[in-house]
Amino acid sequence: PAIGRLMKVCRARVVPLFPVYDGQTHRLTVLVRPPMDDLLDADDTTIARRMNEEVEVFVKPHTEQYTWILKLLKTRKPGEIEPYKRKELFPKK
């Protein structure tokens, strides 16, 4: 998992968060859980398992939100360039 590797390299704390959109009020609430300090010396398998556990904690009460977030991240306006296909990210050598 990329987040786990980044955490190890930077010795950074990972703070789980999850945005929840309220369609009635048109507001976004960001849920935040305590830092995952138990992962600093964990192996990749343990890190992945713990991160999945955190995702489950957020998603269980808001299952409809999980796919909404995935769809939001994949949505592009007409004519907008895919962010990972931009030429400046992959210059020709």
pLDDT per residue rounded down to tens, the chain (93 residues): 677 788 888 888 889 998 888 888 989 899 999 999 888 888 888 888 998 899 889 888 888 777 765 666 667 778 877 666 666 655 666
d(CA 21, CA 28): 4
Residue-level pLDDT at 91: 63
Say how far residue 80 (Cα) sits from the centre of its chain: 22
The model scores a pTM over 0.85? no
Residue-level pLDDT at 30: 94
Residue-level pLDDT at 11: 83
Cα–Cα distances in Å, from 57 out to 1, 19, 53, 61, 62? 19, 13, 6, 8, 9
Residue-level pLDDT at 87: 66
